[in-house]
Amino acid sequence: MQSPMNAKIEGQRRFEKDASRYATYLDSPEGRLRADLTFANLEEFLSASAGHESLRALDLGCGTGAGGVRLARLGVHVTLLDSSPAMLELAKQTIADAGVIDKTTVKQGDASRSTNICEARSFDIILCHNLLEFVDDPAAVLRNAAGLMRDSSAILSVLVRNQAGEVLKAALQTGDLAAAEHNLTDEWGEESLYGGKVRLFTPETLESMLKDASLTIKIRRGVRVVSDFLPAQISRSAEYERIFALERKLAKRPEFFGVARYLQCLATVQQPDPR
């Protein structure tokens, strides 16, 4: 079985080799839907904030910078952190194209060492989207993130690949029943964009990691529950808005959380007991 350290190294190499392939994926209906749904879920929490201009955010494993730019457009000051120079170059271009250079800071570094790169207790929002699948120690990344959250009002948004989603993908998309059965217990899935292995999570393992990092889950959402399995005659582009609306409804139903392609949790940091 592939070790976590090997997964991290392999993940870094695949993104360095062809970072633009990930940018192309984000422009596809599947990539757009994942990003749009994830951000819509985050905005549910942010809507309670009085104003966004005073908020500071950290985008861990920022990739192309698309998520950070969405926050910057709301007036939030965003620090984008990634270990890949190739991805950071794409992020800088995304920032420039969006006209939010004055609202962003770009840093290169490992998310598992973020407390050595960023000031403790300095962020109101932390994004950790599709990062934990590719690091050697997901728990360490979450512990570091918790140490960077300003106080109990700060929010961490985590998005990971769901093991059950891989089971359904194998069974419903490709009809590979052997793979579906194998994925029931496998901690590693096949990464279709670049090839190689990617870590899989269950709701239980993700929630346990968050709890161990002294984080309390406030919102659970399933991302891309049925859209990957729609029949071919339904155009993902022409019917995008209808698909998005349906996915938003499904995401809020707890019975669909565990079978979505991706699991999203919004969590706050636990404050120490003053006693």
What is the number of structural domains in the chain? 1
Task: Judge whether 251 lies within some domain.
Answer: yes
Pairing of strands 125-129, 56-60: parallel
CATH number at residue 90: 3.40.50.150
Residue 12's pLDDT is what? Answer: 56
Task: Judge whether 219 lies within some domain.
Answer: yes
111 is in which domain, residue-wise? Answer: 4-161+199-269
Contacts 24+ apart (CB under 8 A), 26-30: 26/64, 26/66, 29/236, 29/237, 29/240, 30/224, 30/227, 30/228, 30/236
Task: Judge whether 41 lies within some domain.
Answer: yes
pTM of structure: 0.91
Residue 151's pLDDT is what? Answer: 93
The torsion angles phi and psi of 231, rounded to 5 degrees, stand at -65, 155
Task: Judge whether 183 lies within some domain.
Answer: no
Contacts of 128 (CB under 8 A, 6+ apart): 60, 61, 111, 141, 142, 145, 156, 157, 158, 159
**Token code pair at residue 124:** 């109101």
Task: Judge whether 53 lies within some domain.
Answer: yes
Residue 192's pLDDT is what? Answer: 79
Per-residue pLDDT of the chain (275 residues; tens, 9 = 90+): 344 445 544 555 666 667 788 888 888 999 999 999 999 999 988 876 556 778 999 999 999 999 999 999 999 999 999 999 999 999 999 999 999 999 999 999 999 899 999 999 999 999 999 999 999 999 999 999 999 999 999 999 999 999 999 999 999 999 999 999 999 999 998 887 777 889 999 999 999 999 999 999 999 999 999 999 999 999 999 999 999 999 999 999 999 999 999 999 999 998 655 55
Residue 2's pLDDT is what? Answer: 44
Task: Judge whether 92 lies within some domain.
Answer: yes
Short-list 109, 135, 123, 168, CA closest to 269: 123
Per-residue exposure over 165-179, b if at least 16 CB sit within 10 Å of its own CB, e if not: bbbbbbbeeeeeeeb
Task: Judge whether 64 lies within some domain.
Answer: yes
Helices (H), the chain: 4-17, 19-26, 29-46, 66-73, 85-98, 114-117, 138-148, 163-168, 177-183, 203-212, 240-251, 254-257
Residue 4's pLDDT is what? Answer: 43
Helix, strand, or coil (residue 169): helix
| CA–CA–CA angle 123, 51, 149 (5° rounding) | 15
Is the alpha carbon torsion for 29, 101, 127, 267 positive or negative?
Answer: negative
Task: Judge whether 42 lies within some domain.
Answer: yes
